[in-house]
């Protein structure tokens, strides 16, 4: 295997593990940018597209849309179904990020856990005491951290940075679908017990 092919393979392995960020590995990022065309061809045979946002500093792999009667390739990683609260949290964070960008105040959106609790509590079942509500929201935040859309700031467990890659996944189409699911969810909350609400799944996925 020549050095070029070896270098591309290493980048692809990193991309298969998840999102590649410029801030985490500048040399690796520079190589990714310089080999972007070759990388795109390399992953294309696996039914993948390379998505790169140089201005925001991230790159990831996305499955190509299958057209017509073309047989789709097997997925290397399955889609993950999201609960209603997690889907809702993603939608609200995406909206907050849009508002933040419009203000032009800074480049990093940092939110406290209390802000997220307040933002989400309006849509969650009533009748849950504050301690349990905070625990539930913490669990939802942890799931979004696992998905890679936010991160807890080191030494500041109650501070959350919303990653800008959220904009690439939560688009207008996703938000429109979520709006319909939210209407279903609000009806659901009126008919189900609060403790069961977190178990239901939305028809949204990432």
What pLDDT score was predicted for residue 1? Answer: 43
- Whether 200 contacts 84, CB under 8 Å: yes
Beta-strand relationship, 109-112 and 156-162: antiparallel
Alpha carbons within 13 angstroms on the beta-carbon side of residue 153 total 12
pLDDT higher than threshold 80 for residue 177: no
SS3 content of the chain, % helix, strand, coil (to 5): 55, 20, 25
The torsion region of residue 177 among left (phi > 0), alpha (psi -120 to 50) and beta comes to: alpha
Residue 176 has pLDDT above 90, yes or no: no
More confident residue, 72 or 100: 100
CB 113 within 8 A of CB 178: no
pLDDT exceeds 50 at position 74: no
Radius of gyration of the chain from Cα atoms? 19
More confident residue, 117 or 69: 117
What band does 198 get if pLDDT is binned at 50, 70 and 90?
very low
Region 178-198 average pLDDT: 60
Poorest-pLDDT segment among 42-51, 62-71, 127-136, 192-201: 192-201
DSSP letters spanning 66-132: PPTTPPPPPPSS---EEEHHHHHHHHHHHHHHHHHHHHTS-S-EEEEHHHHHHHHHTTSPSS--HHH
User: Residue 200 pLDDT > 80, yes or no?
Assistant: no
Half-sphere exposure of 190 (CA within 13 A, CB side): 6
**Which domains are seen in the chain, by residue range?**
3-63 (1.10.10), 81-205 (1.10.10)
Residue 68: the pLDDT is 54
pLDDT higher than threshold 90 for residue 169: no
Return all residues near 116 (Cβ < 8 A) that are at least 6 apart: 89, 137, 141, 160
């Amino acid at each position: 295997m020549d050095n070029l092919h070896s270098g591309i393979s290493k980048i692809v392995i990193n991309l298969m593990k998840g999102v590649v960020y410029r801030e985490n590995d500048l040399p690796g990022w520079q190589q990714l940018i310089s080999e972007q065309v070759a990388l795109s061809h390399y992953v294309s045979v696996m039914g993948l597209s390379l998505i790169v946002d140089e201005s925001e500093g991230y790159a990831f792999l996305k499955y190509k849309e299958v057209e017509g009667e073309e047989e789709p390739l097997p997925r290397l990683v399955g889609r993950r179904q999201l609960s209603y609260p997690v889907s809702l949290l993603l939608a609200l964070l995406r909206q907050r990020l849009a508002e933040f960008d419009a203000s032009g105040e800074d480049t990093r959106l940092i939110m406290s856990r209390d802000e997220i609790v307040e933002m989400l509590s309006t849509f969650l079942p009533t009748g849950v005491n504050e301690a349990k509500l905070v625990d539930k929201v913490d669990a939802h935040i942890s799931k979004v951290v696992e998905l890679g859309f936010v991160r807890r700031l080191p030494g500041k467990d109650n501070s959350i940075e919303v990653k800008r890659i959220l904009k690439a996944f939560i688009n207008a189409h996703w938000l429109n679908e979520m709006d319909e699911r939210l209407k279903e969810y609000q009806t659901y909350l009126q008919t189900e017990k609060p403790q069961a609400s977190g178990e239901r799944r939305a028809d949204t996925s990432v």
